[in-house]
Amino acid sequence: MIKSIDKTKCQACPLRAPGRCPVVEDCFQDVIRLDREGYPYIKYRRNCCNCHALYWFACQQDCPSQAVEVSTRASLSNRHVF
């Protein structure tokens, strides 16, 4: 389940231009949307399917600033074990 998006890390992110944040684009469950200022936020948390079977937390992986947290650090340590 997606946990949080650290807005402070988005503030200086060059990808925060309108429509460019990759975590919004890559969530195929449409969990994440942009607010009026262009910051991504979790709108439909319950739709998160953890998507690890195919993409391994696409939103978390695709943020270059580690602003998105989906899993615990413990489970991330096993990210390459299927």
Residues that bind ligand SF4 (CB under 6 A): 2, 5, 9-10, 13, 15-16, 21-23, 26-27, 29, 31-32, 40, 48-51, 57-59, 63, 65, 67-68, 70
Nearer Cβ to ligand SF4 (40/81): 40
Integer Cα distance of 37 and 18 in angstroms: 9
Nearer to ligand SF4, 45 or 77 (CB): 45
The residue among 30, 14, 18 whose CA lies nearest residue 63 is 14
Query: CB of 57: closest distance to ligand SF4 in angstroms?
Result: 5
Residue 72, φ and ψ in degrees, nearest 5:
-80, 165
Return the C-alpha torsion angle 82, 49, 70, 42, nearest 10: 160
Minimum distance from residue 54 beta carbon to ligand SF4 (Å):
9
Residue 9 CB, shortest distance to ligand SF4, in Å, is 5
> Hunting for tokens 């953890």 — which residue is that?
50
